[in-house]
Amino acid sequence: MPSKTKLAAVAATVAVLLPLSACGGNPTTAGSSGGSSTIAIGSANFPENELLAEMYAQALEAKGVTVQRHLNIGARERYLAALKDGSINMVPEYNGALLAALSKGGVVPKDINTADEVNQALKKVLPAGTEILQSSPAEDKDTLSVMPKTAGKYHLKAIPDLKPVAGKLVLGGPPEFAKRYQGVVGLKSVYGVVFKDFKPLDVGGPLTKAALTKGDIDVANIFSTDPAIRTDHFVVLADPKNLFGAQNVTPVIAKSKASSKVVSAINAVSAALTTKSLTKYLTEVQVDKKDPASVAKEFLDANHLD
Partner 1 sequence: MITYIQGNQARILSDLGQHVWLSLLPVLVGVVLALPAGYLTVRYRWLYQPVVNLGGILYSVPSLALFVVIPAIIPVGTLSPLNIVVALSVYSFALLARTVADALISVQGETTWAAAAMGFRPLRQLFGVELPMALPVMMAGLRVATVSNISLVSVGAIIGVGGLGDLFTRGLQLSYLAPIIVGIVLSVLLAAVCDSGIVLVQRWLTPWTRAGAR
Partner 2 sequence: MPAPVVPMLNYFAYLFDGGHWSLAGEGIPDRLLQHIAYTLVTLAISAVIALPVGLFIGHTNRGAFLAINIGNAGRSLPTFGLLSLMVVLVGIGTLPVIVALVVLAVPPILASTYAGLRSVDRSAVDAAIGMGMRPMQVLFRAEVPMALPLIVSGLRSALLQVCATATVAAYVGLGGLGRLLIDGLSTNDYPQVFAGAVLVAVLAVLLDLLSAAVERAVVSPGVRERSVRRTRWRRARPDPTNEDAPTSPVGISG
Min dist CB 48 to partner 1, Å, is: 10
Which DSSP string do the residues of 178-221 spell out, in sequence order?
GT-IIIIIHHHHHH----SEEEE--SSSHHHHHHHHHTS-SEEE
Q: Which does 85 bind (CB under 5 to 8 A by kind): partner 2, partner 1, none?
A: partner 1
Residues whose CB is less than 8 angstroms from the CB of residue 12 and which lie 6 or more positions away in sequence, other chains included: none
Min dist CB 228 to partner 1, Å, is: 10
Q: Which does 138 bind (CB under 5 to 8 A by kind): partner 2, partner 1, none?
A: none
Q: Which amino acid is at 155?
A: H
Q: Give the separation between CA 265 and CA 257, rounded to whole angstroms.
A: 13
Q: Give the separation between CA 223 and CA 275, rounded to whole angstroms.
A: 12
Positions in 196-225 near partner 2 (CB under 8 A): 199-202, 206-207, 210-211, 214, 216
Min dist CB 293 to partner 1, Å, is: 8
Min dist CB 215 to partner 2, Å, is: 12
Residues in contact with partner 1 by CB under 8 A are: 3-4, 6-7, 10, 14, 18, 21-22, 25-32, 42, 45-47, 70-74, 78, 81-82, 85-88, 202, 205-207, 210, 285-286, 289-291, 293-294
Q: Which does 294 bind (CB under 5 to 8 A by kind): partner 2, partner 1, none?
A: partner 1
Report phi then psi at 46, rounded to 5: -145, 155
Q: Which residues pair with 90 in a beta bridge?
A: 41, 253
Tell me how far the alpha carbon of residue 287 is from its chain's centroid.
18
The binding site for partner 2 (CB under 8 A) comprises 74-75, 77-78, 81, 174-176, 178-179, 199-202, 206-207, 210-211, 214, 216
